Amino acid sequence: MHAAVYRGQSMVSVEEIPTPAISPGEILVRVEACGICHTDLKKIEYNLLDPPRVYGHETAGVVAAVGADVTRFQPGDPVVVFHHIPCLDCFYCRRKNYAQCAVYKRVGITAGFEPAGGGFAQYVRVMDWIVERGVEKIPEGISFERATLVEPLNTCLKAVVQCDPQPGDFVLILGQGPIGLMFTMLVNRSGARVAVTDRIAARLAIASRCGAEFAWDPNQVDAAAEVKRLTGGRGADLVIVAASVPGIIDRAIASSRPGARILLFAQTSATERIEASGADICVGERTLFGCYSASIDLQKESVDLVFGGELPVEGLISHRLPLANIRSGFDLALHPGPKSLKIIVQPQRWSQ
């Protein structure tokens, strides 16, 4: 099969490698679509993990083979797969901190080499504990491309549940890439007032259609001043940081009221450093917290939201690329243009 193999030094090459073999309790999935996620791009760009690996974890496809003892799935089933599933019985799982579970941290899907998601390949091996609790069937009429959005939507839903915005709250979302737009859709459902910022005008227009009451370009509008003007001089009750650029945490703090909550969602690299005024946090009684990855408790709800059509998530997909063009997809995701949002790789397509 063909796969996009990370070889170190920020290099990825499309190569022919063996199709992975499966063991009892496992399934082999023919990958039809896989979204490009910035967490994978950071691992590649900053060489965070040892090569060789095949990345890609927003994966949807068709069951190609099943191992002994697999009864829930059969060849031909269209499925979406989660690459992290917790044990449900450890210290962290009992406290619902699933992303800190040792089993959760073990990636359970691979295209070969060290497991790293594997969705940027034509086939992936799905290991037994993922088969048990981390594979969902795709209903008839739902595209594989749309199904890839289940996992990222779950991560955003988990964060919104943790943030718990209330009707009437003023929520500022910094960044309106695909993740930021999902946050806009989800926070809008809570009845909170939503304001967003982004430097790309087309994204601001989409955000308005997704429920943002206010949409500002931070290069043209002082968002902190506008938020305070709209909240009687206080500031936002909640700020969601859905982008990672220098100075963005300072902007989040400046836009928030005393006692506000500030969620860091895009700060996923260990090389990123944050500096902030201690008094802004301590004296201002602000809560600065993080949320990372998906929750098994919200798996069914995220599936229903994506497949049921309540949220216009498929409209976030801007590009569908064959595996051979994956490098251009990475470049587009790292340096988005006015029309680029979610970029989907289709491994079974070899050319345009």
> Domains of the chain by range and CATH?
2-148+312-346 (3.90.180.10), 154-290 (3.40.50.720)
- Whether pTM > 0.95 for this model: the answer is yes
Task: Give pLDDT, residue 352.
Answer: 60
**C-alpha angle 338-340-344 in degrees, rounded to nearest 5:** 175
Tokens representing residue 226 in the block: 């506008």
Task: Give pLDDT, residue 269.
Answer: 82
Q: What is the C-alpha separation between 195 and 216, in angstroms, rounded?
A: 8
Q: Are 37 and 20 in contact (CB under 8 A)?
A: no
Q: What is the C-alpha separation between 96 and 89, in angstroms, rounded?
A: 10
Low-confidence residues of the chain: pLDDT under 70: 351-352
Spatial CB neighbours of 118, under 8 Å, sequence gap ≥ 6: 3, 20, 31, 54, 55, 56, 57, 59, 109, 110, 111, 112, 124, 125
Task: Give pLDDT, residue 286.
Answer: 98
Q: Are 204 and 227 in contact (CB under 8 A)?
A: no
Task: Give pLDDT, residue 341.
Answer: 97
The DSSP H or E segment spanning 331 is helix 326-334
